[in-house]
Amino acid sequence: MNYYQQKNIKSLLERKLYFFVGILLTVVITIGSLISIKNVIELPPVNFVDKFLHLLAYFLLTFSWLGAFANTKRFFKKDFFIVLLVFVYGIIIEVLQGTLTTYRQTDLFDLGANLAGIVIAWVFFYLFFSIKYRMK
């Protein structure tokens, strides 16, 4: 096996790992957003902790999906589409919280925190990983 074949296999395994993490995070965020967490863990009453958790969750979610599709062509269009889909997913989750549950409500500040996490993930991914994935 030559160097380029080894490099391609390594890249494929990395993308599969990102893909698996993306699916896992999507499921965990969906379940975590729609269940009552008061019975599971005790969160402090400070509001910024919730917003930080939203930012972190959507940062990780966006980053994992960007990594899963990093080696494909048309990276700018693809990245924009991924960012848009993750944001729409966040909107859907917020709407479902307000309509399907009695213990959660829709919060526009949550959407703002989600968007901040998404944008930070995209910038971080683009700045630090674009050289690795896009300069082949």
For residue range 39-67, list pLDDT tens digits in order: 555 555 556 788 899 999 999 999 999 98
- Asked if residue 84 has pLDDT above 70, the reply is yes
Q: What is the model's pTM? A: 0.80
More confident residue, 86 or 19: 86
Residue 61: its H or E element: helix 47-68
- Domain extents in the chain: 3-134
42: left (phi over 0), alpha (psi -120 to 50) or beta: beta
Q: How confident is the model at residue 13 (pLDDT cuts 50, 70, 90)?
A: confident
Nearest-angstrom CA–CA distance, 65 and 102: 31
Nearest-angstrom CA–CA distance, 118 and 61: 8
Nearest-angstrom CA–CA distance, 136 and 133: 7
Average pLDDT of span 113-135: 82
What DSSP character marks residue 105?
-
Contact 37, 43 (CB under 8 A): yes
Q: How confident is the model at residue 77 (pLDDT cuts 50, 70, 90)?
A: confident
